[in-house]
Amino acid sequence: MHRRIQLKKHLHRFASAEFGTLADLRESVRSSPPGILIVGCAEHDLAPDMLSFADPGQCTVVQNLAASIPRSDQPYDSTVAGIEYAIVLQRVREVIVCSHLCCRVVRYWMKQPILNGDSDPGCRFMANARRVVDRFYHYTTESERQTLMICEHTLYQLENLRSYPFIRNRLATGQLRLHGWVVDDRSARVLAYVPMSHQFVTIEKIAPRKRIS
C-alpha cells in the first residue's frame, strides 16, 4: 500500500537536477562531518531516524509542526534559523523535508475552518495543501484525502525552502540537493518525491544518476 502516489503535474514546478537520490544520501552520511539535514514533524518521533544507514547523531535535525517551513517573505523564525545554520555553517549537502502519513497535526488542521493569512503553519497549510486537494483532486475517504494533503504539504515546504537565496545559490552550483519524503507510519517505508513523474514512490526506486562534481 502507498508504494506510489501520483500527484497533479501542473501544481508544482521543480528541476529534477535539484533533487538527490538514495545513493547521494549514503555518500553524504559517510562524509565527515555527515552532510544531511532533516526537517521533520515534531509529532513523529521516529522521523529523524528513518535513515537506516545513518547512526544516531549523524544527521542535523530541525523539527516543528508538520515539518513546516515559512517562505522568505514571511517572518524569520527558529526553523529557518536552524536550516540556515546547517546549510551555511555546517555546509550540509542534502536537505530532507520529511512528513508522515498518520500526522495528527495535519488531521487537526483538516478539521479547522478555512482561514486566510500566513501567521502560522496551520493557516499556510489551509491556504495551500488543503485548498489544492479539495479543488483539484478526487478522493473517496478521509484517509485518502489526508494522504494527498500531506504529500502536497511536503511539496509546498520544498517550494518555500527554495524561496531563500542561500538555498537557490547552492542548488544552482550543485552544492545542495533536495529530498521530499513521506513516511508510511504503519510500514515504516519511506516514499520519496520524483519531480520528473510527479510521484511519491518507495525510496529504493529512485535510481542514481551521474552528477557534475
**pLDDT given at position 101:** 94
Exposed e or buried b for every residue in 49-64, given b needs 16+ CB within 10 A?
ebbeebeeebbbbbbb
**pLDDT given at position 213:** 39
**pLDDT given at position 95:** 97
- For the stretch 160-173, pLDDT in tens is 999 999 999 999 99
- Locate the DSSP E strands across the chain: 4-6, 36-41, 60-64, 94-100, 177-184, 189-194, 199-202
**pLDDT given at position 51:** 60
Domain residue ranges in the chain: 4-103+147-205
Name the CATH topology of 4-103+147-205: Beta-carbonic Anhydrase; Chain A (3.40.1050)
- For the stretch 101-134, pLDDT in tens is 999 999 999 988 877 667 789 999 999 999 999 9
How far apart, in Å, are the Cα atoms of 65 and each of 43, 109, 153, 186, 187?
7, 11, 12, 20, 22
pTM of the model: 0.91
How far apart, in Å, are the Cα atoms of 141 and each of 69, 137, 145?
28, 12, 6
- Mean pLDDT of all residues belonging to the chain: 88
**pLDDT given at position 210:** 47
Assigned C-alpha cell, 96: 530532507
Whether pLDDT at 25 is above 60: yes
